[in-house]
Amino acid sequence: MSNDEVEYRQRPFQAPPGSTEVFLVRHGQSAAYRDGQPFPLVDGQGDPSLTEHGRWQAVQVGERLRHVALAAVYVTTLQRTVQTAAPLLDYIGQTAVVEPDLREIHLGEWEGGIFRKKVAERDPVFLEVERTQDWSAIPGAESFSQLQNRVVAAITRIHDAHPGERVVAVSHGGAIGAALSHATGAKPLAFGATDNASIAHLIVLGDRWILRRYNDTGHLGGELSAVAEGLT
């Protein structure tokens, strides 16, 4: 074949050899906070369980990922991630691996569900968090850099343990946002609107992080249809 007959076609993305594909799943919907009824704490952090709807979302996550060849499924120390991972683990016959450093941002005096109330009220301290892009405006909370450092360290350990493999890590909105900010160089809270039971897809190879997919909720089609019809 002569040079002018050689074809250079567009091809689908392929992960670089030795990289780890990390499917970051945010936990399903968790229980509502009621004023004066804080969530139980685990290591100082609120630990609500999933709602019935959250459990349905977890099943959809399991259905979506059950046919992916997965080397491991990671969860945090908080029960909402364990409950979200459970249907997938049942499907693939694996046991979860606990990675504590993928847990949610520690919110200091706003732990136990109080944060949700403060956000809904547009508390001035929360507005300061938005302005500074730093959680440390909340009394006693972790800073964004503290959160990001431990989350990046956790994903780096996962990569080191699974070169050339695919894994799922069920985590939390703030933690996932910190990871994706690191991957993209975006502002600290740029990925703060991650939906429950959504999937983000990271490719990790050493210091090279590639974001392939964000807030994928294709497996939650009923919810998306309701939004499109103006029902939610």
Q: Which of 63, 105, 80 is nearest to 218 (CA)?
A: 63
Residue in 27, 162, 172, 219 annotated catalytic: 27
Q: Which of 44, 38, 161, 32 is nearest to 103 (CA)?
A: 44
For the chain, how many residues are written?
A: 232
Q: Is 27 a catalytic residue?
A: yes
CA distance 100 to 42: 11
21: helix, strand or coil: strand
Q: Which amino acid is at 56?
A: W
Residue in 21, 99, 104, 111 annotated catalytic: 104
Q: Which amino acid is at 30?
A: S
Alpha carbon distances (Å) from 7 to 13, 14, 103, 152: 18, 19, 48, 40
Q: Is 63 a catalytic residue?
A: no
Active-site amino acid positions? 27, 104
